Amino acid sequence: MLCFLFAGIAFAQEKTISGTVTDSKGIPLPGVNIIVKNTNTGTQTDFDGLYTIKANRGAVLQFSYLGFENQEVVVADSNTIDIQLNASESVLEEVVITGQGSGIAKRKLSTTVDVLTADEVDKLPSNQIDQLLQSTTPSAQIRLSSGQPGTASIVRTRGPISASTSATPVVIVDGIRVDNLNSNPQLGIGTGGANVSALADIPVESIEKIEYIKGGAATTLYGADAANGVIQIITKKGTKGKPTITFESRVGIINATEDFLKYERTAEALFEPGLSLEYKLGLNGGNEKVTYNFSGSIYSDDSFNQLNEQVRRNLSFGLGAQVTDKLKYQGSFSYVGFEYNLDYNANTSFSRFSAFEGGGRGNLDELSDAQWQSELDRSNRIGETVDITSTVNRFTNSNKFTYEFSDSFDANLTVGIDSRDVVQQNYQTNAFQIAIGAINPGTTDQANLSRTLRKAFTLTSDLNFTYNASLENFDFVTIVGGQFFRTTDRQYFVNGSGGVDGTTDMGFYPTVTSDDFVLENANYGLYFLENIGIYDVAFLEFGGRLDQNTSAGKNSDPLLLPKVGITYNISDHDFYYDSGIREVVSSIKLRANYGEATNFAQPFSQDRTFNLNPYLGLPSFIFNNPGNDDLRSEIVKSTEFGVELGFFNNRLNFSGTRYQAITEDALFTPGAPPSSGQFNQVQNIGEIENKGWEFAFNADIIRTQDHNLSINASYNTNDNIVNSTGGAPAFNVGGFTVIGSWVEEGQSLGYLRGTAATPNGDGTYTFTPNTALGDTFAPNFGSFGLNYSYKNFNLFMTGDYQFGGKIVDLSFLLRHLRGVDNTGIPDDLVGTTNPFNYVNYFVFDNDFVKIRNIGASYSFGDKLAIFSDVTVGFTVTNPFNWTAGDFDPETTGSGIGAQNGFASGGFAYGTESAPRIYMTSLKFKF
Amino acid sequence: MKKISIYIMAIGLLFGCTDDLKNATDFTSVENPNLSESSIVGQPNSSLIWLAGLEREMALTLNEILILSELGSDNYVNTQTFFSQFLDNLEIRIDDPDMRDTQFRIARIRVAAQFGLNQVGPGDSEYTSATEAEYNFFEGMSYLYAGMYFSALPQEELGVPVSSADNLASAIASFETAIALNPQPEYWLALARANYYLGNQTEAVTAAQNAIALDNDFLRSAQYDQLNGPVNLFENALYQRGTFDDLQPLPTLDFLDPKYSFLTPDRDQSVHYLKAEEAYLILAESNLANSNLLAAQNNLQDLLSLIDTREVRNIDDSIEQRPDPSSVFDDRPSSPSVVVNGRAGLVLDRQSGNIDVPTVSGTSLTSADVTAMTLGDAALELLYRTRQEVFIAEGLRFADMGVKLVIHENEILQNPNVSEGDLGTVAVIPSFIDAVKNDLDAINFVPGSNTATTVINLTEILVANKNSDQVLPFH
């Protein structure tokens, strides 16, 4: 009994323990968290890795440090406990899949990749890929072009590299290319602006991580059209362990962003707060052989205005199976159903928003109450009859087979499809046409129904072999593979006219016309990649792709796209470990690479073709495309140099990259000489250069047991210039005739050009046609964010900014033309000449700083009843804006009208800004 | 491993032995829906289909020309439109895309006609001389428009710019070839017009007489397909509402507007680009120039008789207002009680029931006016006013003003044969037009009052300058 008592006292006896925490090479680690397990007692190591803590004999000390594996030690007799922490494998060997053929450790790569993890994705309220990446990736410019549903952003990274395609990256889900058409389809329903996008319905359920590579050497292996970069979504395939079920509900209030309105009355007429509801159900689990992950969700909202509504339905399923010892299978399947309606926008007088804001209904501030009431009545009559709908059904399937011939040799086969159907419909009833004043009241036989079906189908297949070898101090990773993908884009358009109101049955329309459009392309290539590790500190990689596609002219040969890179992790040397520098500069990585990637021309644009137009019920021939047998892909040759630095045990991290990308044989479509009487032909005649710096910085400012605060910021520059147009005269690639986006030698791609007026000081003006009025691509941009947690509470913020570019405020131009707004225009100029002779007064800086998300969440852990975790969250999206002008420089929806066309984003006009959303979420896990 | 090998062998055998799988595994074949040259050249009946293409091109060409020429004249003012930003005030500049598009359309008719003559026709077993005549006619129309609207335009890709007179001469040659193959009244009238603008009075008169001798009420029209396009763009500008477009006529021409209005869901209204009326007007003008008043009066009486037979549509035009309610511009005369330039009955009431609008030709000229005519400038003014009315929305007023468009900078920059400053690159505006160019559409009107005046009377100005080389070619 006594013994027991003594033993008990001894056992419970508190003592002071001290020691040093070092890494595997004996370097002291400052800031390591040490807690006595299952208590509130804790401390941290000092700058020399020393610590002191009080604990009872038998207690368990837990040592944790970011980037290292946790260790637990039982307190025994000794009062000194020295600990060596091992670097975490997951950090050391963080694997990058995208652009490598097979997974390769990030530290071996000379190229950069931005990664968004599952946790980061889960925190964000959005369910659109572009909005997830906005302000969370350090070096992408993602600009929301409209607040209308189904629309998406202009996405750019290292500047505009092509005049003939949009800057949208290739999007890949589990190795499978998916439709990424970020513009209205060729036969799409025109709403004036607010062009819809396939990016709006890319499956974003169950994301394990998103990798974003920015072109250049990183995309060489993708060849084809990957010069704009690649976004890969990797979905969850389940984790071993007991099944977990999660249920999450989100409720949001959607308010219009009214900051940029010219007239408050516009908001009164059109806006009204809406409600969003979302329910998500997840199931995850598995055993040694099979893992699975299921997620399903439904979402609906009725938007920030009177008209828009949207419904999304998602199902996704991921499976991992160890079929045999050697064969592993990973599959994923996702379905996205997306229905929404649109309002008329921007470049049509059917648009109430652009009519109000563009002065089309006069100066709203000056209307009497009675006049305004009459406007409101008219607006409501129109609003009730606008009927533009869109329904998307998308299925994506990926299948990946890995066969391990041996520990060092395996084969990967990926096969999958993406199938996306969109039906767009615009129903213009007699009532609608009467409401807008297009037809006489009383008309009953002029209803018009347009319907477009677009079927986009993509098949992707990739087979590669990976061989790992070691030879004393050299490691080799060899990847050889082949890839093909083919895309088919079929569009059918049918229009019924002369109908009565009340039916959307096309058969009921007396006059029906139809049209179709086909684009088909097959792209195939062989690739090879060798990564040689030298003493496990330096890595040399080289490889290339032999690329061919069916969109090339018959005289063009397959393209060989080489890449080469070198990476040097100086801080991995033993001598570096032994030196004192490491205590301050904890890691140094240098990297350099060169690589080529391409964009191919629109399929069939190489052919000389003729049109057979139906005309008055008979066929009629005429010339169409002039043809170009020498047409080939444009090649983007990128060189980059970079450094990654970590300070104070990587609590401060800095990354800097210098890049230069030259687009050779750039696909330009200059204006044919009018005397030819022929259409313009795309040709490989241009050269475009982009160069700039990318800096990213993050810091763990506070890292204690309870408090963690980290911040991140990035700053990027882009200097874009058209080196050559191959002798072709300047040509217009967007905007309007009097003030457009142009391509001209010596200027930035898509720069703004128009007639400028400069005062002579005596009341007269000098008018200079074709004046350069600024670059549409902001040459300076970046993002910033912070993340703070206190125990189970988390707070985060993300934002982005840009400056240095220019944009046209087209709504102002229209207001001025209509005589209701002369703000900032000299009195002695107004009325003396056509406003199109002084368009410089409508061009403004496109600078902005925007806070995109602020969110907070609290996790209750397992304290609540049957649940293993309950999390409540609150986010607000788009809460704060600061802009240089009085308008939103992002609302450029009207600029991406042509299928996959170039988007300069230089014209803000007539569409609503992305709304302000307040959302609460409640997540149960059990 | 062994099993796998067997599977691979089995799959290999399957692929190798089965031809049917070839299609399934050839992933590089793509479906190209486009038409190639071999589907056209050498095919029976292709020449007629090519000719239909030319007719369609003509409709597209007039869509370009009419907007520019009608805005550039005193006929219409732009109150709310993105159609041509510059022409209203006769700002004619080499960087205006409308210059490019007009030049392109004129050239396209030429190259399409030549392709028909050189490739499609000879390759078609069913090719007829009537079709060949049409190809020549269209080639001639391309030169005619080049001569009417441009001081110089190349006749081949990147070719040397050819002067207006030489383009008109080329037009004459083409029309003569067409007439030789298959004489048609519109070929003769086109020949008459080319000679008219060249000042070749005798040849113009002969051709005009030959035209009406073949058919005294012929119409050659560009037809528009409301269903499949092209639609009549000028109809959009004049009549269709709810768009940005609104052209308003000079109040003296109000009763002629809208010449084009909604027809059927299938058809849009035609533009009559060659019509018998023009022959009578050429003859009358020639007779006035020769001081042969009686003959001129007879020509004009014939003209009035012809106009009487032309279609007048009774339409509901109540959605058209003066100005359009969606614009914020000043009120314009909209009541029949408004007297314009001292003349009553020129303005229609569009809000009280349907209105009658001539769709081919209309005029305020009366038989009594003709009878009362005496030799002198007043008669010429009457004739030119009638030309303006009869040809409203058909692009002739602009040519009658002697104004010429310019070669677009896209051509100047690429064509080694032309530089900025050369003939064709500088706008030609007669000085007496230039002096009033900002007042072409200006009116004095106090809303609610019963009188309105145009700030200038362009017809009067044209006649006052009849001895200029640039206008009134027979004087």
Using DSSP, state whether A321 is helix, strand or coil. strand
B258 preceded by cis ω (within 30°)?
yes
Contact B205, B242 (CB under 8 A): no
Q: Of B34, B85, B108, which has the smallest distance from its Cβ to A607's Cβ?
A: B34
Q: Which two tokens stand for residue A734?
A: 């967007």
Q: Are residues A367 and A482 in the same domain?
A: yes
CA–CA gap between residue A838 and residue B271 (Å, rounded): 36
CB atoms A513 and B227 under 8 Å: yes
Average of per-residue pLDDT across A17-26: 84
B230 preceded by cis ω (within 30°)?
yes
| Least Cα separation, residue B227 to chain A (angstroms) | 7
CB atoms A671 and B108 under 8 Å: no
Residue found under tokens 């195939």: A524
CB atoms B328 and A359 under 8 Å: yes
**Pairing state of beta strands A83-85 and A14-23?**
parallel
CA–CA gap between residue A722 and residue A745 (Å, rounded): 5
CA–CA gap between residue A23 and residue A29 (Å, rounded): 7
pLDDT in the model for residue A91: 53
pLDDT at A182 over 90: no
CB atoms B32 and A614 under 8 Å: no
User: What rounded mean pLDDT belongs to chain A?
Assistant: 89
- Give the least confident one: A328-332, A578-582, A592-596, B147-151: A578-582
Average of per-residue pLDDT across A218-236: 83
CB atoms B30 and A359 under 8 Å: no
| Least Cα separation, residue B242 to chain A (angstroms) | 5
C-alpha distance from residue A663 to each of A139, A239, A325, A798, B374 (Å): 20, 44, 47, 33, 73
pLDDT in the model for residue A101: 65
Angle between the B185-198 and B129-149 helix axes, to the nearest 10 degrees? 20
pLDDT in the model for residue A4: 37
Using DSSP, state whether A438 is helix, strand or coil. coil
Task: Return the higher-pLDDT residue of B341 and A128.
Answer: B341
What are the tens digits of pLDDT across the range A357-399? 998 888 999 999 999 999 999 999 999 999 999 999 999 999 9
CA–CA gap between residue A234 and residue A211 (Å, rounded): 8
Q: With respect to CATH, is domain B6-464 assigned 2.60.120?
A: no
Residue A598 lies in a domain: yes
CA–CA gap between residue A911 and residue A192 (Å, rounded): 9
pLDDT at A10 over 50: no
**Pairing state of beta strands A806-809 and A907-908?**
parallel
CB atoms A612 and B32 under 8 Å: no
CB atoms B28 and A439 under 8 Å: no
pLDDT in the model for residue A38: 77
pLDDT in the model for residue B1: 47
Cβ atoms within 10 Å, residue A37:
13
B28, B68, B324, best to mutate vs chain A, most A CBs in 10 Å? B28
Contact A479, A102 (CB under 8 A): yes
pLDDT in the model for residue A549: 83
CB atoms A437 and B156 under 8 Å: no
Q: Are residues A192 and A297 in the same domain?
A: yes
**Pairing state of beta strands A104-105 and A95-96?**
antiparallel
Q: Exposed/middle/buried for A77, CB within 10 Å: 0-12, 13-18, 19+?
A: exposed
pLDDT in the model for residue A296: 95
Backbone angles phi, psi at A864, to 5 degrees: -105, 110
**Rama region for A734: left / alpha / beta (φ>0; ψ in -120 to 50; rest):** left
Residues 6+ apart with CB under 8 A from B223: A616, B55, B59, B267, B270
Q: Are residues A117 and A50 in the same domain?
A: no
What are the tens digits of pLDDT across the range A314-331? 999 999 999 999 999 999
Q: Are residues A326 and A256 in the same domain?
A: yes
- Give Cα A125 distance to the centre of its chain: 15
**What are the strands, taking DSSP E only, across A430-510?**
447-471, 474-499
- The last residue of one of the domains, among A35, A58, A84, is A84
CB atoms A673 and B410 under 8 Å: yes
Residue found under tokens 């009420």: B217
Q: Spell out which residues of chain A touch residue B110, defining contact as CB-CB under 8 Å.
A: 677
Residues 6+ apart with CB under 8 A from B376: none
CB atoms A349 and B242 under 8 Å: yes
| Least Cα separation, residue A810 to chain B (angstroms) | 13
Percent of chain A with pLDDT over 90: 56
Domain count, chain A: 2
Q: Are residues A607 and A654 in the same domain?
A: yes
Contact B239, B338 (CB under 8 A): no
C-alpha distance from residue A6 to each of A11, A12, B438 (Å): 8, 10, 112
Average of per-residue pLDDT across A755-782: 94
Backbone angles phi, psi at A662, to 5 degrees: -115, 125
Buried b / exposed e across A145-157, counting CB within 10 Å, b at 16+?
bbbbbbbbbbbbb
Task: Return the higher-pLDDT residue of B109 and A895.
Answer: B109
Residue A5 lies in a domain: no
What are the tens digits of pLDDT across the range A626-683? 998 888 889 999 999 999 999 988 889 999 999 999 999 999 999 999 999 999 999 9
pLDDT in the model for residue A226: 82
Q: What is chain A's alpha carbon radius of gyration, rounded to the nearest angstrom?
A: 30
Contact A209, A117 (CB under 8 A): yes
Q: Exposed/middle/buried for A583, CB within 10 Å: 0-12, 13-18, 19+?
A: middle
Q: Of B242, B316, B415, which has the smallest distance from its Cβ to A350's Cβ?
A: B242
Contact A94, A104 (CB under 8 A): no
| Least Cα separation, residue A222 to chain B (angstroms) | 17
Asked if the interface predicted TM-score (ipTM) of this complex is over 0.85, the answer is yes
Q: Which two tokens stand for residue A428?
A: 């213009």
Q: What CATH number is given to the structural domain containing A31?
A: 2.60.40.1120
CA–CA gap between residue A837 and residue B317 (Å, rounded): 35
B243, B328, B409, B417, best to mutate vs chain A, most A CBs in 10 Å? B328
Q: Which two tokens stand for residue B438?
A: 């900002």
Residue A563 lies in a domain: yes
pLDDT in the model for residue A48: 81
Residue A90 lies in a domain: no
Q: Are residues A332 and A364 in the same domain?
A: yes
**What are the strands, taking DSSP E only, across A557-609?**
559-569, 585-599
CA–CA gap between residue B120 and residue B53 (Å, rounded): 12
pLDDT in the model for residue A8: 37
CB atoms B56 and A613 under 8 Å: yes
Average of per-residue pLDDT across A762-776: 93
- In sequence order, which ranges of B182-292 are alpha helices (DSSP H)? 185-198, 201-214, 233-238, 276-289
Residue A4 lies in a domain: no
Q: Spell out which residues of chain B touch residue A604, defining contact as CB-CB under 8 Å.
A: 32, 34
CA–CA gap between residue A418 and residue A233 (Å, rounded): 14
Residue found under tokens 């230069």: A660
Q: Spell out which residues of chain A touch residue B157, defining contact as CB-CB under 8 Å.
A: 673, 675-678
Average of per-residue pLDDT across A22-35: 80
pLDDT in the model for residue A2: 38
Q: Which two tokens stand for residue A539?
A: 């890595």
Residue A7 lies in a domain: no
Q: Are residues A67 and A172 in the same domain?
A: no
Residue A376 lies in a domain: yes
CA–CA gap between residue B103 and residue B117 (Å, rounded): 21
Q: Of A610, A625, A675, which has the smallest distance from its Cβ to B411's Cβ?
A: A675
pLDDT in the model for residue A11: 43
Q: Are residues A683 and A708 in the same domain?
A: yes
Contact pairs from chain A to chain B, CB under 8 Å? 202
| Least Cα separation, residue B293 to chain A (angstroms) | 44
CA–CA gap between residue A201 and residue B306 (Å, rounded): 63
| Least Cα separation, residue B69 to chain A (angstroms) | 18
Q: Are residues A218 and A78 in the same domain?
A: no
CB atoms B157 and A676 under 8 Å: yes
A413, A616, A621, best to mutate vs chain B, most B CBs in 10 Å? A621
Q: Spell out which residues of chain A touch residue B36, defining contact as CB-CB under 8 Å.
A: 607-610
CB atoms A673 and B93 under 8 Å: no
pLDDT in the model for residue B2: 54
A273 preceded by cis ω (within 30°)?
no
pLDDT in the model for residue B81: 64
Q: For residue B244, what is the nearest residue in chain A, using CA coordinates?
A: A349
CA dihedral B284, B287, B288, B294 (to 10 degrees): -90
Q: Are residues A61 and A184 in the same domain?
A: no
Q: Are residues A667 and A611 in the same domain?
A: yes
Residues 6+ apart with CB under 8 A from A439: A430, A433, A446, B241, B242, B319
pLDDT at A253 over 80: yes
**End-to-end C-alpha distance for chain B, whole angstroms:** 101
Contact A809, A354 (CB under 8 A): no
The pTM for the full model equals 0.87
Contact A195, A436 (CB under 8 A): no
- The last residue of one of the domains, among A51, A84, A117, is A84
Q: Spell out which residues of chain A touch residue B27, defining contact as CB-CB under 8 Å.
A: 459, 484, 486, 522, 524
Q: Spell out which residues of chain A touch residue B228, defining contact as CB-CB under 8 Å.
A: 513, 613-615
Q: Of A360, A613, A674, which has the smallest distance from its Cβ to B326's Cβ?
A: A360
Backbone angles phi, psi at B293, to 5 degrees: -60, -45
Residues of chain B with pLDDT under 70: 1-26, 80-82, 85, 241-245, 324-329
Average of per-residue pLDDT across A771-776: 94
CB atoms A673 and B37 under 8 Å: no
**What are the strands, taking DSSP E only, across B51-149?**
76-78
Q: Of A359, A550, A678, which has the smallest distance from its Cβ to B30's Cβ?
A: A550
Banded model confidence at residue A900, pLDDT cuts 50, 70, 90: confident
Percent of chain A with pLDDT over 70: 96
Residues 6+ apart with CB under 8 A from A433: A439, A443, A446, A447, A448, B242
Q: What share of chain A is helix, strand, coil (3-state, %, to 5)?
A: 15, 50, 35
CB atoms B85 and A459 under 8 Å: no
Q: What CATH number is given to the structural domain containing A426?
A: 2.40.170.20
Q: For residue A378, what is the nearest residue in chain B, using CA coordinates?
A: B326
- The last residue of one of the domains, among A52, A84, A116, is A84
Residues 6+ apart with CB under 8 A from A70: A62, A63, A64
Domain span at A785: 95-925
C-alpha distance from residue A372 to each of A218, A364, A379, B157 (Å): 57, 7, 10, 56
Q: Of A511, A674, A738, which has the smallest distance from its Cβ to B100's Cβ?
A: A674
What are the tens digits of pLDDT across the range A506-530? 999 998 989 999 989 898 889 999 9
A615, A742, A771, A816, best to mutate vs chain B, most B CBs in 10 Å? A615
**Paired residues of A322 in beta bridges:** A328
Q: Are residues A78 and A132 in the same domain?
A: no
pLDDT in the model for residue B80: 65
